[in-house]
Structure 1
Amino acid sequence: MPSRVEDYEVLYTIGSGSYGKCQKIRRKSDEKLLVWKELDYGTMGETEKQMLVSEVNLLRELKHPNIVRYYDRIIDRTNTTLYIVMEYCEGGDLSSLVARCIKERRYLEEQFVLRVMAQLMLALKECHRRSDGGATVLHRDLKPANIFLDVKQNVKLGDFGLARILNHDTSFAKTFVGTPYYMSPEQINRMSYNEKSDIWSLGCLLYELCALSPPFTAYNQKELAEKIRKGRFTRIPYRYSDELNTLLSRMLHLKDYLRPSVESILQSSLLAETVAEEQQKAQARLRRKSMGCVATAHRAGEPEPATEVRLKEQVLRDREKTLKEREERLEQREQELCVRERLSDEKLARAESLLKNYNLLRQPTGLAGLYSKDIDLDEDCSPGKRKVHFARDSKENHRPASRDSMSSQELILKKRLQAANSRAQALGEMERAYPKSRQFQGIR
């Protein structure tokens, strides 16, 4: 039986917007506290209606402990009103938490910020890399007011009203949507964007959790757009670690392809411990759920083998999910290796071309050396053979200009220098002997 408005009791209104309001309700059948978004679709245009339908469909498909859970929808055609029944988050949203910290003049602990970051990254991973094999979902409106906390201070990502589905990895969104303080540079410049735009918005959100104000603020939208295009912001307070500041700076990089992916952020040393804790909690929740299914089956009198088969199916699904994630990581690594291989091939080709050019440059020199050797052999021939002399201007007698010819000239000059030195030495000896001969003549 489909749900009716009469099945719920309205307690009070939490907030209101242009198209409706959000109310806290109680389900009469089991007294469970929930919320619903009451939306008047009679005054909506076709675009708004399409966004509303996409939000409902997305909430039905996205099932993750860190995403606001969808329960039901009720269509009141008489009053043209749609009720979307969702999980109630007792802890409020992050915008009210930031306002409370400003009022109390205190900062949030770094461990809490890291926990929020890890849980939001896991929620975004479910959106960007769907575990059920569905298309990529961009949230496009990540801001503190759309992030909720449950009674245990766990993060719940909500309000997918501006979300967009990308059917292929190469698809890029082009719609100008979102909240200005958290919009990426590519959205400001009205360029195409992908899931890295959500990384920018999440970086702005986490920056605000640390500094209690967004990284880019201005008095008007034009000035804000200029500041976002420049991408300059002050460091988060020094009570937070350099690792956290570095990670936020990478998330707020002006070039989207240099921003880290969800997987690389989750695998960073800063979040490794927190992510491991969240995964252990998820496994514990799964075990409790499995035990609850077994207990329900016992109470219903269902045969034991059927429950075992269900448990095995769940284990196989989890294993398949793990293998899929591992396969994605291997594909990413394979792509990186392909890029490295291409770069190494280009370097090798460049080295081979340089070696080839070097050999071509050396080749004439070698030939000239051989040619000069042949001539020298002819010049040093035995005395018994006649030498053949050519005219000085003939082509046959013209030697090619090369380093070997220069070296032969140097040898000739060296020989002439040695002869001059020996001659000078002989003259010196004669001069030294000359005074003695004159003494001998005087004696005579």
Structure 2
Amino acid sequence: CRVVSGAGICLKETPLDDNRLPLTLTAGDHELHLHATMRYSRTGEGMHRFTDPTDGETYVYTQLFLDNVQHVFPAFDQPDLKATFDLTVTTPTNWTVLTNSNTHQQTDGHWKAATTPPISTYLVAIAAGPWHSIRTQHRGLPFGIHCRRSLAPHLDADAEEILHITRACFDRYHEKFEEPYPFDSYDQAFVPEFNAGAMENPGLVTFRDEFVYRSAVTDTERQTRAMVIAHEMAHMWFGDLVTLTWWDDIWLNESFAEYMGYQTLTEATHYTDTWTDFAITRKAWGYDADQRPTTHPVAPTQVDDTATALLNFDGISYAKGASALRQLVTWLGEKNFLAGINTHFRRHKFANATLTDFIDSLAAHTDRDVHAWADAWLRTTGVDTLTTTVDTRPSTWTLTLRHHGTRPHRT
């Protein structure tokens, strides 16, 4: 790539060092202009390119999580270096372009997106191709669901269910959160060959397109899809509006969305037994990870780089963290918990925050020692156990609960 700085520095054909461009800058303000030509990806890291074997149509989409932005465009890519983004996209004339914000075709094949609010580089998103799209509006905002054309009949069959879940969760989050939805549109794209379950890009959530069911499925599978929709929507506030400062707090993103996804789905939809599913499937994942030699605290104190962060992307960061938050809500009371969450959003919106910031926001709404709770639950490893015994005598039945461990636990 060619790099030209407006401060009188010219870097031309500078060799990359571990895919990084070293800069030596003088004091003062600088403006950096870069022109880069990058390769498409087939691994789901960067801009993935897929050609549908059914009809030969081609689709591209980004997955920039952690540090994969470097595979699409040059950037200073720490999560606490937020910026506004202006995207223009050139495509074949029969394609549709989706981004984080409202995007319009100016002339054939030339698209321009509205300027985003401040977001981290790992959350920038583009999905382009001859999408099959179903569009609607809710609360004055454009909503859309999208898939590749060959899956159109299957998305059409489930469109009302997906949109109903989306609207119900959206409304429930607005009852919980004082900060309104912080972006100008809400698209959900079911993309091919996705290497994760879903990704919480602001305004453009991407899902693996296996969630567009091709045949009859169980109610549990539909509930799982609904939970993922609720989970990713929770990230619009916790993760996108307020973003972690560094990857040591990845659990805060995922544990919060995991807890809020299950709780909100239970409250807002006909899936009222979601916590049973959590107890059977998700908690077992957390228990297993927490009793291995590779266990780590929910909130580790040292994460040196993105490779280390990725190792912590496991049942502890999702399931154990969500269980801890559920216990915290029980211990604090939901009213105090939500008051603290709303203080957190207000203090740090469109910026970054740490675990300490989060705990400080909660502590402002309770007399309980939330910092000590966090040290006990989030900075330690291993499990506590609750053991029940039953004493049955004529005309009496007594349940005794014994707690083995040191963490505060409210039942």
Higher relative contact order, structure no. (Cα contacts within 8 Å, ≥ 6 residues apart): 2
Q: TM-score, normalised by structure 2?
A: 0.25
Greater percentage in helix: 1
Bigger radius of gyration among the two: 1
TM-score, with length taken from structure 1? 0.24
